[in-house]
Amino acid sequence: MHDIKYIRENPNDFDAAMERRGLDGVSAEILALDEDRRAVQTTLQELQAQRNAESRRIGDIKKAGGDASAAMDSV
């Protein structure tokens, strides 16, 4: 297992070490995949925050004695 932080900070050193093992220039591919993973993770966190806000709103509606069924359908 390789440390992604090390690869981000030292891609040339990582590539040199991998070339000694017979792998050519893998840091660019690894960093591209890491960037994609980070973007997806950010999107996931934004969606979870929206869901949590909607759930709090539903809780407030129920606490006030209102009908939250329409709001619950959107979650």
What confidence tens digit (pLDDT) does each residue in 20-37 have? 999 998 999 999 999 999
- pLDDT score of 28: 95
The backbone torsions φ and ψ at residue 42, rounded to the nearest 5 degrees and listed phi first, read -65, -45
Which residue range(s) make up the domain with 26?
4-74
Give the pLDDT confidence of 48-72 residue by residue, as tens digits: 999 999 999 988 888 888 887 777 7
Give the global pTM. Answer: 0.73
Number of domains in the chain: 1
CA dihedral 27, 29, 30, 35 (to 10 degrees): 120
Helix, strand, coil distribution of the chain in percent, nearest 5: 80, 0, 20
